Structure 1
Amino acid sequence: MNKDSKIYIAGHRGLVGSAIVRNLELKGFKNIIGRTHKELDLTNQAEVRKFFEEENIEYVFLAAAKVGGINANNTYPADFIYENLMIQNNIIKSAHDFKVKKLLFLGSTCIYPKMAPQPIKEEYLLTGALEPTNEAYAIAKIAGLEMCKFFRRQYRDNFISCMPTNLYGPNDNFDLNNSHVMPALIRKFHEAKINNLDNVDVWGTGKPLREFLYVDDMADACVFLMENYDGEEHINIGTGEEVSIKELVQIIKETVGFKGKIVFNSKMPDGTPRKLTDIGKLKSLGWNHKVDLKNGVSLAYDWFQKNY
């Protein structure tokens, strides 16, 4: 990419897309464009084709998606599979038709089998059953990365894919009903603190192990891959480090300054027992994360306090 290359960030206001915009701007890229949902409905094929035809886009970061936590995925599976398939199909096909130079598709590590060997290597995709609570979203994401692979194979399009681990940071969704574990816990502990509650109820046993990546590190990895990777296989993006939900809860409690008790509700689902990515391929290309978990949680809480 050149500093004046026309770069489209699909989902530029979300957690992932906004971080990519920040990273590109810091690196001196000047010609970055995005469209809100009101300006461009990505599930509408005609609108997306017209947009690509008029804008002469050179590079695409496909970060737009309908996302949510366990509760949202369980409650609205039809919406998750339909909207995500439509968004990615329209953008990938238009990128091909209007000869975009390169496209990066962002998936999620939920695409891997629920009981995949740990740490999870890229080649474990499609080797076992998915986690039922987010199966609809995972299937859509699998279709997206496979679509990039097959357009690359048949048409030689320079379409690549990456699979970020659990992300958190600025512009995250902190809604308690449909957010991911990190922002939900930050909000829970913050509200418990300001309301002087005696305890905080946490879903599950606290035993599952998770990997968390600060979203600005993820964005840096995405830009790095756009400039340095041209392979057919998707690439995991993560830290290669894991923490139990119980340990994460303690970090958040201390960061927020909540003094009460933590109550784990074992009647609620834990989700996948362990999910750690093997980031050997990304590291071999020369990229490593910079923000550790404690500092990342502190940064995310600072942003939450200023914006909620």
Structure 2
Amino acid sequence: MGVLSRLSYVVRSKINAALNRAEDPSETLDYSYEQMRDELQEVKQGIADLTTQKKRLEMQKRRLEENVEKHNEQAREAVNQDREDLARRALEKKKQKMNQIEDLEGQIASLQDTQDNLVEKKDQLQNRIEEFRTKKESMKARYEAAEAQTRVSEAMTGAGDEMEDVGRAIERAEERTEDMEARSEAMDELQDSGVFEDALSDKDSLDRELEEVRTSGEVDAELETLKTEMGKGSSDSGESEADSAELDAELETEVESESADEDIEAELEELKDDDESS
């Protein structure tokens, strides 16, 4: 197969596929029905024209028959007048008219046969059109029902083009949402780590570090002042350690006491529940 033949085949196949997608069976059936009705109308018009032509020949035949009768009367009168020559001429004209009448009768008979044939075909075509109309309506109803069922099935299964577009839109929305969530978490992490400087602040990272050191120094100085006021300086470190040990012991005793109280309360609650259940 040559290049041009292949190209022509591909083009025809593409056009045929496009036509199949664009073709609506309901519209096609209606169009076919209208075409058949147009054909029936043409047949009826042909019958009418043929009948008109036949009527013209019949009228011409009647005029010839009147002339035949007239010539016959002329011949009789000529014979009564002893004018054989006139009688002969009248009879000759009568014979000519009778020959014409015979030809017209043959034409009229032929037209009548054609008319009868056309009428029979017209009746057959009309019956076919009625049958086609019934089948057409049935096929349209079946097609519309199948189309509706297909749309419902595609909607339920998500196999249709529209549902496919909806599914893709949902996937894109989910992807964008996940991207925005990840970006938001990244911005929070970078902000907490100090990578991004506050746009409203005129301090850089060095200023913030110096401020942290200065704050820590102020806290240490205040702590030393407090210790000095309470007599907890470095000379009293032994006493401080003893007091610290005593304080730890008191805290442990207090914790154990609180734990014992909690155990007692738990046992009381269990007894109370047993009494209520009994």
So what's the TM-score if we normalise by structure 1?
0.15
Higher relative contact order (CA 8 A, sep 6+): 1
Q: Which one has a larger percent helix, Structure 1 or Structure 2?
A: 2
Q: Which one has a larger percent strand, Structure 1 or Structure 2?
A: 1
So what's the TM-score if we normalise by structure 2?
0.16
